[in-house]
């Protein structure tokens, strides 16, 4: 005997118990758990520099075209006022709004856009604001953006006691509040600067964290770090239904010049070359 809602929407059916067929009526009994498929919600956050430049605007439009975010948040701390408004108008993204960059969060539907100041005192003030928000909003929420810190040393190329203390502080703050650090795919580092080996620095400064309510509701949710371009930070994208794997057939072939140095390279090519 099975009870289900009318099949007017997509759903998942999980068989959790089946009785042997010796039962006369019904011949087969199953208990079903019905899970309606939620519409995917895609959210993109990008800490950009030079948001008004033609090159960045062109890149932004391409990112929107490819990833189709439902919600887009740009963090640009070097422009404000009418200049920032003109940038918003050029994006032509529906329902747009502009807020002043003051080191605190902007809550939109419990979607918190984060820019953490490099200044430790201002950053600790933001942490307290987030804790107060979480304590007074017992619903699902997610915080996403530039936290300007890493949880582990392997998330950056810098070392030393100062970096280690900062990692411990940030990781402890997140764990003490029972916040979930969303797993990611894509680039390992979301920020990079410097053009030589001596000056090059990188770190995973951008991330998404959410509370347990959000995780239960969107159990398939995932984060993807997109390609860095036109800014020292790369955009990050969250999809509440996760991301489909890239089919093998559309992955571009890459030739490695080092292959030609292998002693059996020519033999391999000849034996595997096909004229058709």
Is the preceding omega at residue 26 within 30 degrees of 0, hence cis? yes
pLDDT at 66 over 80: yes
Condensed to tens digits (0 to 9), the pLDDT of residues 99-113 reads 765 544 444 467 888
Q: Model's pTM, two decimal places?
A: 0.65
- Spatial distance between the Cα atoms of 92 and 90, rounded to a whole number of angstroms: 5
In terms of pLDDT, which residue wins out, 126 or 29? Answer: 126
Q: What mean pLDDT is predicted for residues 41-62?
A: 79
Q: What mean pLDDT is predicted for residues 122-147?
A: 87
User: In the prediction, which pLDDT does 275 show?
Assistant: 59
Strands 191-193 and 201-203: antiparallel
Compute the residue count for the chain: 276
pLDDT at 182 over 50: yes
Nearest to 202 by CA among 166, 163, 148, 156: 156
Strands 236-239 and 184-186: unpaired
User: In the prediction, which pLDDT does 9 show?
Assistant: 36
Strands 236-239 and 222-225: antiparallel
Condensed to tens digits (0 to 9), the pLDDT of residues 232-248 reads 899 999 988 888 765 55
- Spatial distance between the Cα atoms of 69 and 44, rounded to a whole number of angstroms: 6
Condensed to tens digits (0 to 9), the pLDDT of residues 4-32 reads 333 333 333 343 443 444 434 333 333 33
Instruction: Give strand ranges (E) for the chain.
Output: 11-18, 30-36, 42-47, 71-75, 106-108, 111-115, 142-146, 180-181, 184-186, 191-193, 201-203, 206-210, 222-225, 236-239
The distance from CA 163 to its chain's CA centroid, rounded to whole angstroms, is 24
Domains of the chain: 1-37 (no CATH), 42-249 (3.60.10.10)
- Spatial distance between the Cα atoms of 190 and 232, rounded to a whole number of angstroms: 8
CA distances, 251 to each of 1, 209, 246, 254 (Å) = 47, 30, 7, 9
**What DSSP assignment string belongs to 140-183?**
--EEEEE-S--SSGGGBS--SHHHHHHHHHHHHHHHHTT-EE--
Contact 50, 87 (CB under 8 A): no
Q: What mean pLDDT is predicted for residues 120-143?
A: 87
Contact 82, 182 (CB under 8 A): no
- Spatial distance between the Cα atoms of 201 and 198, rounded to a whole number of angstroms: 9
Nearest to 105 by CA among 70, 135, 140, 142: 142
Condensed to tens digits (0 to 9), the pLDDT of residues 193-206 reads 888 878 888 999 99
Contact 52, 87 (CB under 8 A): yes
User: In the prediction, which pLDDT does 224 show?
Assistant: 93
Contact 191, 155 (CB under 8 A): no
Condensed to tens digits (0 to 9), the pLDDT of residues 154-175 reads 999 877 888 889 899 999 988 8
Q: Output the CA torsion sign for 259, 263, 266, 271.
A: negative
pLDDT at 254 over 80: no
H or E segment at 246? none
Q: What mean pLDDT is predicted for residues 226-233?
A: 86
pLDDT at 136 over 80: yes
Q: What mean pLDDT is predicted for residues 133-145?
A: 85
The distance from CA 75 to its chain's CA centroid, rounded to whole angstroms, is 15
* Residues paired with residue 185 on neighbouring β-strands, in sequence order: 224
């Amino acid at each position: 005997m099975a009870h289900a809602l009318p099949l007017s929407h997509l759903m998942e059916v999980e068989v959790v118990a089946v009785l042997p067929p010796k039962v006369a009526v019904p011949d087969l009994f199953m208990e079903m758990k019905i899970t309606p498929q939620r519409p995917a919600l895609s959210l993109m956050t990008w800490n950009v520099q030079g948001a008004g430049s033609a090159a960045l605007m062109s890149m932004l439009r391409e990112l929107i075209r490819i990833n189709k975010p439902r919600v887009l948040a740009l963090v640009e701390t070097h422009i404000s006022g009418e200049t920032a408004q003109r940038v918003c108008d050029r994006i032509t993204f529906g329902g747009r709004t502009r807020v002043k960059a003051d080191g605190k969060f902007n809550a939109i539907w419990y979607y918190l856009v984060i820019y953490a100041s490099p200044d430790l005192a201002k950053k600790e003030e933001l942490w307290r604001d987030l804790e107060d928000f979480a304590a007074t909003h017992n619903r699902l929420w997610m915080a996403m953006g530039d936290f300007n810190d890493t949880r582990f040393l392997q998330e950056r190329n810098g070392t030393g006691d100062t970096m280690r203390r900062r990692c411990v502080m940030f990781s402890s703050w997140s764990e003490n509040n029972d916040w979930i650090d969303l797993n990611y795919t894509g680039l390992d580092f979301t920020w990079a600067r410097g053009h030589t080996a001596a000056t090059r620095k990188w770190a995973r400064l951008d991330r998404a964290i959410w509370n347990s309510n959000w995780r239960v509701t969107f159990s398939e949710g995932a984060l993807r770090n997109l390609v860095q371009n036109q800014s020292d930070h790369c955009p990050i994208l969250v999809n509440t239904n996760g991301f489909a794997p890239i089919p093998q057939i559309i992955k571009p072939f890459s030739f490695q010049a080092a292959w030609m140095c292998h002693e059996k390279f020519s033999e391999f090519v000849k034996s595997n070359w096909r004229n058709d």
